[in-house]
Amino acid sequence: MRSSVPRGRGTCGRQVRIGACQTPEITGDVDAAVACIRGFCERAEPEGADLLLFPECFLQGYLVTEAHVRRHALDLGSAQFRSVAARLADIAPVLVTGMIERSGGRVYNSAVVLEHGQVAGVYRKTHLMPGETAFTKGDEYPVFEVKGLRYGINICCDTQFASAAGRIAGQRARVLLVPAQNMMKRKAAEEWKHRHNRIRAARVRETGMWLVSADVTGERGHSHVGYGPTSVMNPSADVVAQVPLMETGMVSYSIPPPVMHHCWQAGGGDVGGGQQAGRG
């Protein structure tokens, strides 16, 4: 059979399957959040998932009051967090989940990377919303690898800033993971429910990365609603998989290996600037 790969070019590595979870909102109940993670993993592992992504601050819940943040923040080196992580040690996929992190007397809106119950790294949100005064902003953009696939993280409204995605792309990452939490007042939720993906598409076009997002859905009383979206975008900014709005569920997608000349050079490059457009 004739190869569809141009002469002098080939594919490097293997495909990596990433799952993204659209969850109910859970606040102040780490046990329930861990049970939810395990439930999604039971679905994802038979599909061969290599990595599973959960929403922003998912472990303790996204409430940004000083009381909630201070009460529920966890230090990654504490016995309490180690106990939580140990309950996820038997899970095969890498887990990336949002959490409220305490470190050195400061509190961060973070995403922790867990591999078999061990902390492989952490990203701290670099662009905080005006209401997130209980958090300290992060200033680093670490990248990680799963089975040879390099990825980085932006949290929710980080994606409104081209520089945040650009810092990840500049380290030769192929995938941008976006834990988000868009439980919003109803009027704002209606205005934003399709805008999130438009903002993310701009980052994809600038960087050429894949983008995978995870969000919450459902209602918080009569005042707030979370539509999502939880989706996968390819480097052309096409949405290739998405959980329906207002439904809990998971999408998983296999990121193909790159096609590269002689399999020795990875992508990257500069990106342009961006403007703040609101939460997303």
The arithmetic mean of pLDDT across residues 122-150, rounded, is: 97
pLDDT band (50, 70, 90) for residue 12: low
Sheet containing 143-146: give its strands across.
143-146, 149-153, 175-179, 210-214, 230-233, 239-243
Which CATH superfamily is 16-257 part of? Carbon-nitrogen hydrolase (3.60.110.10)
Query: Is 0.95 topped by the overall pTM?
Result: no
Amino acid residing at 244: P
Q: Give the model confidence (pLDDT) of 190-199 as tens digits.
A: 999 999 999 9
Which pLDDT belongs to residue 242?
A: 98
pLDDT of residue 13: 66
**pLDDT(271) > 70:** no
Whether the per-residue pLDDT at 2 is higher than 60: the answer is no
Mean pLDDT score, 48-63: 98
- Would you report the helix, strand and coil content of the chain in percent, each value rounded to 5? 25, 35, 45
pLDDT tens digits, one per residue of 155-183: 999 999 999 999 999 999 999 999 999 99
In the chain, domain spans: 16-257
pLDDT at residue 5, rounded to an integer: 35
Residue 68 in this model has a pLDDT that exceeds 70: yes
Q: Are 176 and 210 in contact (CB under 8 A)?
A: yes
**Mean pLDDT in residue range 256-279:** 46
pLDDT of residue 7: 39
